Structure 1
Amino acid sequence: MHIILFDTSALRGRFYPLSYTKPFASLQMGIFSMKEWWEKMTGMQVFLLTEDYLQAGYPLPENEWVYFINAGLLPNRNIWNEIQNLQEGELLKAREGQLLAAKANFDKNEKLAFLQINYSERKVETDYIFIERPYQLLQNHARAIEEQLELIMQGKNSQKISSTNNIIAPENIFLEEGVQMEYVSLNASEGKIYIGKNALIMEGSMIRGAFALGENSVVKMGTKIYGATSTGKKCALGGEIKNTIFNHFSNKAHDGYLGDSIVGNWCNFGAGTSNSNIKNTANEVAVYDYFSKSMVAAGKKFGLLMGDYSRLAINSSINTGTSIGVCCNVFGGGLLPKHIPNFSWGISNRNSKYQMEKAMQHIQNWMALKAEKLSDWEIQILQHIFDNADI
């Protein structure tokens, strides 16, 4: 059998702009994406069921019995045991009635047809975590890194750490092959640290766990990182960073502060850019919710949500609880607006739109810097978002 992680419109909508360009389960959370985490824990092949305009990049299995799992459900052994105990044609629901999982027949033509069938139900018995809002990713970030690293460390040994480094709690640190790291301070006493294959941490950097650095990523000289922070592959970090998730290929490589934030793929922060993650009044932070088109509470500390392919000019000042859409070229003086829509060009004229042809060329330019290319499928997704941009 296989697993299908399925999006719901509410889940994807609450994670815009991050989920405009990818299924929810493709988002990074620690060392892995949600999809990769389920695969590593279960040993099963995992498929993603999402919106039609995204689905072409995510193949689905043939018609068969599968485990359907709501993409917002975090993996853990106990909940997986309950899912495996489902009978064919049985649903697993939360005590409040929310669908968590099902063992059902998958039909490529009908997809979620089982929702229309009068299947039997059982209520979940074990504790579980269900992610509904972006700030909950950050609240569970350290836990994700810890649990994911435990999966990696089963039957696998860390590479040796050079004696030039200053290390606290080395038993909680794991280095993959090809890591370059000299004269660095790592403190894993309060959270585990994972350094991915062929990553580089330059001298003078100071890092507290929990922390996960993706494959072929770089931490620049003298960087200060507080847990929990993680990156995807080919990212570059610098300055001061705290409790932030970077998806693949993004750069925050220069001085400036970034905290309590989630950054999409292919984003770039100009030198000197900083964000606010707490209000001067210490009141609740509100962030723009694309699903309800309103401001929603995000806790006492929340910094930035930044969609894929967006870039910030040098010395940008990011407001508390800011949402920057997909493919924005952000520049302009003063404190930035809290909501910057998809395909925005600057902030001084809110009716100025980043033109599609120019945007694609600029993305190609950035991708070339990391020896990557923009695919036709990615262009189709961006065209769909451009045609429906909320600007």
Structure 2
Amino acid sequence: MSGLYFYDDSCAREFEPFALTRPASELRAGAMIVRERWERVTGLESKGFVGAKHLQDFEEEGAPPFISTGDIPAGSVVVNSRFVVALDADPKKFDVLMNEGAGCAVKLARSLPVKDLIGGKVDIASLQTSMGGRIVAGRWMSNVWDYIATLPAQLGEDIPILGKSLGSSLPRPGDTMGDGDVFIEEGAQIGQYVVFDTTGGSILIRRGSSIHPFTRLVGPVAIGRDCQVMGDRIATSSIGDWSKIRGEFSNSIVLGYSNKGHEGFVGHSYFGRWVNLGALTTTSNLKNTYGNVQLWTPSGTCDSGQQFLGTFFGDHVKTGIGMMLSTGTVLGAGANVYGSHAPPKAVAPFSWGDDEPYGEYELSKFLVTAERAMERRHVTLSAKAKQQLTESHRARWSAD
């Protein structure tokens, strides 16, 4: 097998507010990015992804390039990016991997023209002529809110597997409640009076991360590398590398390189990369009627079927001090919202302002801000990444 190729089908291409700026293979599901999960279980290197045209210049550390021409070689594995493979899966020998009657990965018996996948309409199981297929454990993400809905179960499965695979870990802390495991990778720092509550699940802290005094971690919780967790209750959450979190944080995912450095409740929410929340930014995650949360999607407003759902923050979103966000809010990539008015439940990408109608965040000014923010984490905004953000700015959607 020559490598992994990820395929964003038409469903994945509607996973806003993230699809405008990244492929679905670069979203965090449970304790790991989808691509990393597949690399781990197959032992293969990622070679490319097929997705929406505006992502043709997508560039991020570890991510494979966009491909639109030529052939995917025979022996390669084509993966549907919406499938979150279980970390203990062992798909070493297969023609087709199936889950819930649908093909999630296929090993190509012959080379495949990339153009066949460009439109996003292909069922990848049809690319293999063998009868049947192997069943593989994992979960389909059919809607963008499924990453949050499945988070407790996914973390419950992921953390013990990842924790036990660490080369070495620190001893179990003294201030631990419950029977779950606590995995602390060497190089992590734990302050005084940190409480580890494993009653509901295990806890994983990767190297370089710092847990400040008086933090209460309520499992299952996965904290990536080089993070700072600066107090309050952090529960049932997955926090990606190089993130800062302070204040009550519950049932939420941080893709990485994002900041919630102040007080303010966040629950059942998803942060893209390079998000920064102003002090006291607060998300509502439960309606006063206790009914299902409605969420804006490119196909219209949908009933999520979820009683708890907060805010989906696209890449590079910024909020001002004291921002109050309604249940089921979608903030498009690059949006900068502030002021005393709660924004509508869907804010278009690259919006700017304190109330409707929002202005457009001028591209040149946005890129300057993005470059400054990334430099603070010692990450360079490359010329190619600038071009990708430029294409995303051109392809931005309207929330009307």
TM over 0.5: yes
- Mapped to 2, the partners of 1:155 and 1:315 lie a distance apart of 40
36-45 vs 267-276, greater mean Cα deviation: 36-45
User: Does residue 27 of structure 1 match 2:27?
Assistant: yes
8 Å CA contact retained: 1:92, 1:122: no
User: Structure 1 vs Structure 2: percent identity of aligned residues?
Assistant: 25
1:249 to 242, 257, 273: 257
Aligned to 1:215: 225
- Mapped to 1, the partners of 2:363 and 2:12 lie a distance apart of 27
Shift of 1:131: 1.1
8 Å CA contact retained: 1:288, 1:296: no
Instruction: Name the CA shift for 1:126/1:55 in 2 (closer, same or farther; >3 Å).
Output: same
**Matches for 1:352-391 after TM superposition, within 5 Å:** 352-391=359-398
2:266 partner letter:
L
8 Å CA contact retained: 1:179, 1:199: yes
8 Å CA contact retained: 1:93, 1:121: no
- Mapped to 2, the partners of 1:135 and 1:205 lie a distance apart of 28
- Mapped to 1, the partners of 2:112 and 2:376 lie a distance apart of 42
Measured against aligned partners, the alpha-carbon deviations of 1:17-75 in whole angstroms (never above 9, x if no partner) come to: 11221110111123310111122223222344232432444237962322222122221
2:214 partner letter:
G
Instruction: Name the CA shift for 1:118/1:146 in 2 (closer, same or farther; >3 Å).
Output: closer
1:175 partner letter:
I
1:245 partner letter:
I
**Matches for 1:183-332 after TM superposition, within 5 Å:** 183=192, 184-220=194-230, 222-227=231-236, 229-290=237-298, 292-332=299-339
8 Å CA contact retained: 2:4, 2:46: yes
Shift of 1:332: 2.6
Measured against aligned partners, the alpha-carbon deviations of 1:319-374 in whole angstroms (never above 9, x if no partner) come to: 00000000011113232210000000024242510000111111122122222221
Counting helix residues as a fraction of each chain, which structure ranks higher? 1
- Mapped to 2, the partners of 1:259 and 1:130 lie a distance apart of 22
8 Å CA contact retained: 1:289, 1:296: no
8 Å CA contact retained: 1:73, 1:100: yes
Aligned to 1:122: 132
Shift of 1:284: 0.9
Instruction: Name the CA shift for 1:156/1:328 in 2 (closer, same or farther; >3 Å).
Output: same
8 Å CA contact retained: 1:319, 1:335: yes
Aligned to 2:7: 6
Question: Any idea what SS the aligned residue of 2:153 has?
Answer: helix
Unaligned runs of 5+ in 2: none
- Mapped to 2, the partners of 1:170 and 1:380 lie a distance apart of 50
Aligned to 1:43: 43
Question: Any idea what SS the aligned residue of 1:383 has?
Answer: helix
1:50 partner letter:
V
8 Å CA contact retained: 2:20, 2:54: no
2:44 partner letter:
M
Aligned to 1:63: 73
Question: Could you tell me the TM-score, scaled by structure 2's length?
Answer: 0.86
Shift of 1:267: 0.3
Shift of 1:146: 3.5
Unaligned runs of 5+ in 1: none
- Mapped to 2, the partners of 1:47 and 1:144 lie a distance apart of 26
2:349 partner letter:
N
Aligned to 1:102: 106
Instruction: Name the CA shift for 1:363/1:121 in 2 (closer, same or farther; >3 Å).
Output: same
Question: Any idea what SS the aligned residue of 1:36 has?
Answer: helix
- Mapped to 2, the partners of 1:37 and 1:118 lie a distance apart of 23
User: Does residue 159 of structure 1 match 2:170?
Assistant: yes
8 Å CA contact retained: 1:287, 1:298: no
- Mapped to 1, the partners of 2:356 and 2:150 lie a distance apart of 38
Shift of 1:261: 0.6
- Mapped to 1, the partners of 2:328 and 2:56 lie a distance apart of 30
